[in-house]
A and B are shown apart, each in its own frame.
Chain A
Amino acid sequence: EAGVTQFPSHSVIEKGQTVTLRCDPISGHDNLYWYRRVMGKEIKFLLHFVKESKQDESGMPNNRFLAERTGGTYSTLKVQPAELEDSGVYFCASSFGQETQYFGPGTRLLVL
């Protein structure tokens, strides 16, 4: 069974540009999460989808970040416009209900 996949694995963009990250959860997982790790600090929760609905977006840092999960399958996280402090590793995870969350390999974002 395929795990959580994320695309791209790395992205280098300039300040002010737009970047879109994609996450494909494990098939059948209704819950999808975004987290990020900035500058070697702790991994922080960004938001949680149940199917296509945002259940909790309390961790989203500001309105430059937009997450969608159309159709309740894959999800995208768009950063527009990107700022230097957005650099970090963005992780996606999925779960079936409240069972174990399985994480993807992450997208390493560098904003110059």
Chain B
Amino acid sequence: GDSVTQMEGPVTLSEEAFLTINCTYTATGYPSLFWYVQYPGEGLQLLLKATKADDKGSNKGFEATYRKETTSFHLEKGSVQVSDSAVYFCALRNTGGFKTIFGAGTRLFVKA
């Protein structure tokens, strides 16, 4: 079945460091890919998405590129801030489908 694998956390970085959170997926069709973020005490928020191969999703300085050849959707940010501390979830949803499949989440701590 379809699945998402993302790097285990926690990831601890200093402010202004470069961030990469790896995400790979297995899907039978041509899924849309998502990154969701959960800030402390809050719900899940859609951070960015990409709907087809080679698309780049971006938001709030975060970027991820849909790589079909490597079945990956790695999340990157050039300079993290303390306010980026949160849990990040990679997810997919197949074309025509309604069920979103999530990875286990990666907790990010950013130190001042």
Contact = CB atoms under 8 A, between A and B. Distances in A.
A43 B43 contact: no
Nearest to B5: A42
A12 B69 CA distance: 46
Interface residues of A, number: 27
A84 B44 CA distance: 24
Contact of B99 (A6, A45, A100): A45
Interface in B52-97: 89, 91, 93, 96-97
Contacts of A37: 105
Chain A interface main SS type:
strand
A105 interface: yes
B100 A42 contact: no
A33 interface: yes
B100 A35 contact: yes
Contacts of B93: 101
B104 A56 contact: no
B45 interface: yes
27 contacts: A4-B43, A31-B98, A33-B99, A37-B105, A40-B104, A42-B89, A42-B105, A43-B44, A43-B91, A44-B102, A45-B99, A45-B100, A45-B101, A48-B98, A48-B99, A91-B43, A93-B100, A95-B98, A100-B46, A100-B49, A101-B46, A102-B46, A103-B44, A103-B45, A103-B46, A105-B42, A105-B43
